[in-house]
Structure 1
Amino acid sequence: MGSRARRARFRRLAAAALAALAGSLVLFTAGASPASAITYHPVSLPADESPHVDAGMEWWYITGHLNGKDLLGKSHSYGFETMVVRNDGISTAPVATIYNVNFAISDLTRGTYKGTKEIYSIQPDVVPPGGGYNFTVGSVHMDGKNGVNHFSGGFSDLSYSFGSMTASQSTPAALHGNAGIIPYGPFGQSGYYSQTNLKVNGTLFDHGMPVQVTGTAWLDHQWGDWTPGKGGWEWYSIQLSNNTQYMLYFIRDENGNYVQTVGTLVQPNGSTTNLPPAQLSRTTTGTWTSPNTNITYPIKSTVTVPGGTLSVTPQLPDQEVWSSLVPVGQYWEGTATVGGTINGQAVTGMAYAEVIPYIEMPGHGYVWQSVLDLLGL
């Protein structure tokens, strides 16, 4: 099916979904006044695992590294991203909210990457009793509570899909910044916590072949009624061989200047330390130019943290999440290896690195015109 036909089909589905949500909805386009303002408070789990109906935008995502064997005994290695983005871009939450799935598999055995961000749904916000989250968008399902998460689904062509996957950890979630509230550069403030040392097991269907996989993963949940602004960032989730983890966030303004740095060190028992921004830095050591978008991404880097430096090297150069239907918000997010020295000790590990080259961050009632066009609004 061509892109024009896919666009037309999606518009029909979106229109039907809006009609099914009933009533009369007052729709706001880009730049509309906020319907409400979020009240930030110290993060409390599992209540804050749920959708925040006063947030303009939020996301839950799990990235990780998997290894396993198929039925024929062949070994496989993968990186993966499964992510749900919630956007109150038409100011109708909690009755009707835009949900979007980003899904990607880095097949390290084949040396290939496949991703999509073209799965959209307009559906009510659901806040489970007692906290946690539970939603299905297209073929992708995610739910979780108290450090136990499940996910399933994948690509519509069945090239890669997850069966029933479980990702859990026994240590507390890491609340970044001030009790889970971080400064967010040109975008104001953000609620933000992570589960940094998830143990994963389940089945990945690789072109129809079931592969029993295990591995490690990282869950991020971030939300806000952000100040509409322009900028970007580089972000890292780093899981080291000494069982410590680092979250590093380097946030840029619209001119490419770093204006906010946020970092957290997570100890093996789950305790956290906020890292002084002045002791955090990053240097680009390698780039990749996308043949899809012509964006040049700084995908290889060295980061400095208190006590040492770490080199972050992508396992595949092409791990860009992009869309021909929604040509905004393109980004690079990929599995990487880590090596370096911390406090005089050599360390190795795994990471996911994210590069947002440029984004116009929305608040309530603010949605990119291309998304409005795609939804037929």
Structure 2
Amino acid sequence: MPDDFSPRSGRAYSRSYREELQRRRAARRYLLLGVGVLVAVAATLFMTWMPDALSGRAATVAAVDDGGPAERTAALPPLNLPADDAAHGSGMEWWYYNGILDAANGERYAFHVAVFVATGLVKHTAMHAAVTDLQTGKRYASQTRTGGVPAQAIANGFDFSQGRWRVAAAGPSHTLRTASDDMAISLDLKDAGPVVAHRAAGSKTPGLLDFGKAGISYYYSRPRIAAKGDIVVGGKTVSVSGPVWFDHQWGEFDASTLGWNWFALHLANGSDVMVYQLFDAEGRKVMTAGTVSDAKGAVPLKGEDIELTPGASWTSPVTRIPYVVEWRLRLPSGVYDVKPFYPDGEFDSRQTTANVYWEGPVRVSGSAEGQGFLEMSGYDRLANLAAGRR
């Protein structure tokens, strides 16, 4: 893959959108995030780490002293679960869920939900949710933002509630409730699988990531949490169930000049693949890393283990931002083609977090079948940069 990564250009980037991004530049200093991401950071999602599998019971994960060079992360308290499920009051913190859920009638729905807490001049909380009807491709999205942190302080968990939203967890039990005029999510989740604590390749400190000048972050995942509940779209309620990916990240770090492509994939053979590619504000590739895990443990993926080749792109008709939505992923275990169920996965969160990102469900084919989520963040800045050079 070339050292420079940038979405395919050649499309006009509206003057009004460029001006709006400039007006919001100051806000980005205090809250810029990614998916699902997720989801989904995500996507989460700008890290280079090696994971460890932890049991679901309480655990303190300490650094390993093998006589090697000292790490900055070793000076911080080790990851301590389940206590670290709770909020930490750090500069940046988020809790993120994504999943593709099945209904008894054969219908399928994809979703992501995220809570972001940022502390700048003031502390504020943003919540994002989206549902994609995989029968029709119709996408429903909702977001909210408030000053402060609308949460109850509970041991070994979290409980965020605002209006029709609630995102909470206590021990292995999680609750998701979101609602807007045309969409609602009501899920109860139960975690019985291992936790994956992430660390940089070569690091002796699991659960902590050193981003260099950008700071240090704690990060762990629960790749498969069993979920049951209801999805409401367009006035129709459907009972659904399926595996959900959960991420939790916090620390004193700054991602305002970084972007990423983040993959969270459930394969039919029972393994879970997480891969991310990090790039800077100029679109130059910074690092690529990830992990493959299953119920037996986790195998780290270094940069040289991963080859990501961009394929087809999609340009948002609203923001004119181009996104690479098809990828070929080459790992030691095989070659995987990752394609979206539908190309429109853009989440316009300018009103709550001053950025725009892509977060949506994907299919996996090739060496193994599967499904999951792709998150792409930072493409708005790349598009704005390209427009400024024209």
TM score, norm. by length of structure 1: 0.75
Q: Tell me the residue number matched to 1:171.
A: 193
Query: What's the CA shift for 1:248?
Result: 1.1
Report if the CA contact (8 A) 1:185-1:253 is conserved.
no
Q: Matched residues in 2 for 1:29 and 1:334: separation?
A: 25
Give the RMSD, CA atoms, in angstroms: 2.5
- Listed as ranges, the matches of 1:189-204 within 5 Å are 189-204=216-231
Letter in 1 for 2:101: L
Of 91, 94, 101, 1:59 maps to 94
The 3 A distance-change label for structure 1 pair 250 and 138 is farther
Q: Tell me the residue number matched to 1:46.
A: 82
Query: What's the CA shift for 1:324?
Result: 5.6
Letter in 2 for 1:42: P
1:263 matched to 2:274? The reply is no
TM score, norm. by length of structure 2: 0.73
1:311 matched to 2:347? The reply is no
Letter in 1 for 2:93: E
Letter in 2 for 1:83: A
Q: Deviations over 1:3-35 (max 9, x none)?
A: xxxxxxxxxxxxxxxxxxxxxxxxx98879xxx
| 2:81 alignment partner, SS class | coil
The 3 A distance-change label for structure 1 pair 307 and 292 is same
Tell me: higher relative CO, structure 1 or 2? Use CA pairs within 8 A at least 6 residues apart: 2
The gaps in structure 1 that reach 5 residues or longer are: 1-27, 33-37, 92-96, 342-346, 361-377
The 3 A distance-change label for structure 1 pair 137 and 261 is farther
Q: Matched residues in 2 for 1:334 and 1:327: separation?
A: 18
Q: Matched residues in 1 for 2:353 and 2:87: separation?
A: 26
The 3 A distance-change label for structure 1 pair 352 and 186 is farther
Letter in 2 for 1:151: L
Of 80, 103, 107, 1:76 maps to 107
Letter in 2 for 1:153: T
Q: Tell me the residue number matched to 2:13.
A: none
What is the aligned length?
308
Report if the CA contact (8 A) 1:120-1:137 is conserved.
no
Report if the CA contact (8 A) 2:338-2:364 is conserved.
yes
Report if the CA contact (8 A) 1:176-1:274 is conserved.
no
Letter in 1 for 2:371: M
Q: Matched residues in 2 for 1:202 and 1:215: separation?
A: 10
The 3 A distance-change label for structure 1 pair 330 and 29 is closer
1:222 matched to 2:249? The reply is yes
Report if the CA contact (8 A) 1:335-1:351 is conserved.
yes
Query: What's the CA shift for 1:268?
Result: 2.4
The gaps in structure 2 that reach 5 residues or longer are: 1-25, 31-72, 200-204, 382-390
Between 127-136 and 168-177, the greater mean CA deviation after superposition: 127-136
Query: What's the CA shift for 1:310?
Result: 1.3
Q: Matched residues in 2 for 1:327 and 1:199: separation?
A: 29
Of 145, 155, 159, 1:130 maps to 155
Identity of aligned residues (%): 28
The 3 A distance-change label for structure 1 pair 323 and 29 is closer
Letter in 2 for 1:237: A
- Listed as ranges, the matches of 1:79-94 within 5 Å are 79-91=110-122
